[in-house]
């Protein structure tokens, strides 16, 4: 109502609605109205850096879940000295497989949790661990488009993608290349397209009754990713900036190493992961479908190759050679 908006302006109140990249003014009546099923109340708590951490209180009667040690005489990791972290280490390490499929319950997970020495480094080093990440998505809503008279496509409604699998592999240390996260994400929404050709996901992969993998909630995987970001981890991946935008998580640019930008000539097309793997690593990937663990490992190897070429001074020549191969082969692998 107009009188209420005027009172808010007089008090200096200003409500805004954030809908993806669209920001529109709102009022208090709309803010506190939760009659619609899709509106879920949430609270974001901000704390100024450097202020003393308030005492922790809890209403839960359950005892805290201990962090699994890596050896019989392992000691607790040192406290985080980098920043105040809203996600606790215990929460990051806690995992529960939602799958009720017998194969998933009887098989070991496809990932290995961080060991005690890795946790100690993660919590104490100013520069976080190097990891490689790849994410896969499914479509909850399909794109609606029409073809204009000139042959161009007009998108009437973009597709709605949902996070369905996240794989994070170690980028350094004795277990380099071993996943620390390889989780499928359960969704209650109806999946219109599993995008199997690009995601490797199939019907049943996100269903607790049929999933043969480690299945978790979207909230849990967001907490794990947020923890790694807050710990200063550096993420290697191909097309990472786009993945993080779809996931809707903010990662500082200095923590992103996107291999799509490492082997790129300005003004030219960007090279695919499959193309770089074939002509830079002499490795064939994505044979049939995609696998996020394979893609994350490949991105890590490409980054290591970039470091070698950068140190030898051959990087620019190799990039030009790759583009030459691409134009000769019409970018086919």
Q: Are strands 160-170 and 179-185 parallel, antiparallel or unpaired?
A: antiparallel
Q: Which of 61, 55, 4, 53 is nearest to 27 (CA)?
A: 4
Contact 188, 162 (CB under 8 A): no
DSSP state of 279: H
**pLDDT (tens digit per residue) in 127-146:** 889 999 999 999 988 877 78
What is the rounded distance in angstroms from the CA atom of residue 188 to the CA atom of residue 196?
19
* Percent of the chain with pLDDT strictly greater than 90: 45
| Mean pLDDT computed over 25-35 | 82
Distance CA 298, CA 285 (A): 8
CA nearest 26: which of 35, 17, 37?
17
Q: What are phi and psi of 84, to 5 degrees?
A: -75, 125
Quick one: pLDDT at residue 3?
56
Please give the Cα distance from 134 to 290 (Å, whole number).
10
CA-angle at 266, arms to 264 and 270, nearest 5°:
40
Name the strand (E) or helix (H) holding 36.
none
Token pair recorded at residue 110: 């496809």
Q: Are 273 and 285 in contact (CB under 8 A)?
A: yes
Distance CA(145)–CA(253), nearest Å, equals 33
Q: How confident is the model at residue 56 (pLDDT cuts 50, 70, 90)?
A: very low
Structure confidence at residue 64 (pLDDT): 43
At 52, the pLDDT band (50, 70, 90 cuts) reads low
State mean pLDDT over 89-116.
Answer: 89
Q: Where are the alpha helices (DSSP H) in the chain?
A: 2-11, 28-31, 89-93, 102-106, 116-124, 196-199, 218-230, 240-247, 259-262, 273-280, 292-312, 315-329
pTM, to two decimals: 0.74
The pLDDT tens digits of the residues spanning 180-189 come to: 999 999 988 8
15 DSSP β-pair partners: 26
- pLDDT, average across residues 6-27: 71
Give mean pLDDT, residues 280-294: 86
Question: For residue 215, what are the β-bridge partners?
Answer: 184
CA pair distance 71, 76, nearest whole angstrom: 11
Report CA dihedral (228, 232, 234, 239) to the nearest 10 degrees: 70
pLDDT of residue 62: 43
Q: What's the pLDDT score for residue 214?
A: 93
Q: Going by C-beta distance under 8 Å and a sequence separation of 6 or more, which residues neighbour residue 16?
A: 23, 24, 25, 26
Q: Is the pLDDT of residue 318 over 60?
A: yes
Decide if pLDDT at 51 tops 70: no
Which of 121-130, 193-202, 228-237 has the highest average model confidence (pLDDT)?
A: 228-237
* The two structure tokens encoding residue 221: 């995987």
pLDDT for 4 equals: 55
């Amino acid at each position: 109502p107009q009188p209420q908006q005027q009172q808010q302006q007089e008090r200096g109140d200003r409500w805004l609605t954030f809908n993806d990249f669209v920001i529109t003014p709102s009022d208090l009546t709309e803010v506190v109205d939760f009659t619609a099923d899709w509106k879920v109340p949430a609270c974001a708590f901000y704390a100024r850096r450097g202020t003393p951490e308030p005492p922790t209180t809890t209403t839960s009667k359950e005892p805290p879940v201990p962090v699994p040690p890596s050896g019989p005489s392992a000691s607790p990791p040192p406290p985080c000295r980098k920043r105040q972290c809203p996600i606790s280490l215990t929460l990051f390490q806690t995992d529960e497989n939602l799958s009720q499929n017998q194969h998933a319950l009887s098989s070991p997970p496809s990932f290995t949790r961080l060991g005690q020495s890795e946790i100690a480094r993660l919590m104490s080093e100013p520069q976080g661990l190097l990891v490689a990440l790849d994410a896969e998505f499914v479509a909850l809503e399909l794109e609606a488009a029409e073809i204009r008279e000139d042959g161009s496509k007009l998108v009437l409604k973009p597709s709605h993608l949902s996070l369905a699998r996240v794989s994070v592999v170690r980028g350094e240390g004795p277990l380099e290349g071993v996943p620390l996260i390889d989780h499928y994400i359960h969704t209650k929404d109806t999946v219109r397209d599993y995008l199997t050709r690009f995601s490797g996901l199939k019907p049943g992969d996100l269903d607790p009754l049929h999933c043969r993998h480690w299945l978790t909630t979207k909230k849990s995987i967001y907490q794990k990713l947020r923890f790694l970001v807050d710990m200063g981890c550096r993420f290697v991946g191909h097309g990472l900036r786009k993945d993080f935008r779809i996931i809707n998580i903010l990662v500082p640019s200095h923590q992103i190493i996107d291999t799509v930008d490492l082997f790129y000539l300005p003004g030219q097309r960007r090279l695919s992961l499959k193309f770089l793997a074939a002509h830079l690593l002499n490795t064939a990937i994505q044979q049939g479908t995609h696998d996020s663990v394979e893609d994350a490992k490949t991105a890590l190897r490409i980054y290591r190759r970039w470091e070698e070429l950068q140190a030898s001074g051959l990087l620019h020549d190799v990039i030009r050679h790759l583009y030459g191969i691409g134009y000769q082969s019409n970018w086919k692998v």
